[in-house]
Structure 1
């Protein structure tokens, strides 16, 4: 089992694994990576900036249900064929675990108002890397070593993405 350990840009220790159930803390947070027509689905959080959609599990919902709900609430995008990719443990004052998913875009609602974020934003890989290199508008957790490792893993799964990019 390989764990990638790093400090995020706030100086907090984070451990990342691409194997399920690596950590003793159950994942109750989600992060979703989806591509559509060769563009990444991001959302603009009013305080943190551009980031992949995600959030916390609510009530009795499963981690998968939370990933689908949070993506919809933040971007007005319905995701399908959602697959677990990774999980990471954030050693904050109260440690928590976040599951990372990859997904296909099923439906995009253009008319519904957003309440949690400024809505969906679509970036090509070049645009994403350009933003990352210049640190323009990207949320702090989109610029750390963990996100780099996650994106490298997704790139290694490029065959799956080729089937997903309608």
Structure 2
């Protein structure tokens, strides 16, 4: 699988999950402080998602805890939510969510290559563990995917990083 991990800055704005405005930047020239992280995680030529107990299948991620760097948070979230042990992790972008009437928040987007999955590492309170999918997947809520994977951010990241074009 060929990955693109850097390139020219690409910025796009659109309505994301829950109808919030989202600004997505891939390969940004400058990064902003992020309080959340998500990963396009890969294991043996498959994408690794997690099954959230309420929202459905989504990409691994979560909040950065006090005293933790976003990279440390990403490695921890991968392990807690999927049992995945990260072999390599690259920061490839950020997106900002602008909830109506609330403070915007920033999520770092990582690409993570997982060396192996260890089921007893899964300790996420909100998730059931890993879900492996073909990289060509086009997630939809009807298929059980979370709105957070169906809002356009995931597909744009996947297309850019993996150079996969969805056929609708």
TM category (shorter chain) comes to: 0.7 to 0.9
Contact 1:30 1:66 in 2 (8 A): yes
Give the TM-score of the pair, scaled to structure 2: 0.82
* Structure 1 match to 2:95: 88
* Structure 2 match to 1:123: 133
- The secondary structure found in structure 1 opposite 2:68 is coil
* Structure 2 match to 1:164: none
- The secondary structure found in structure 1 opposite 2:95 is strand
| Counterpart-to-counterpart distance in 2, 1:6 and 1:36 | 30
Which of the residues 107, 111, 116 maps onto 1:98?
107
* Structure 1 match to 2:6: none
Unaligned stretches of 5+ residues in structure 2: 1-8
- Number of residue pairs the alignment of both structures matches: 153
Give the TM-score of the pair, scaled to structure 1: 0.83
Which of the residues 75, 91, 116 maps onto 1:107?
116
- The secondary structure found in structure 1 opposite 2:161 is helix
| Counterpart-to-counterpart distance in 2, 1:148 and 1:104 | 18
Q: How does 1:117-156 map to 2 (within 5 A)?
A: 117-126=127-136, 128-129=137-138, 132-133=139-140, 135-156=142-163
**Closer, same or farther: CA 52–134 of 1 in aligned 2, 3 Å:** closer
Unaligned stretches of 5+ residues in structure 1: 158-166
RMSD over equivalenced CA pairs, Å: 2.0
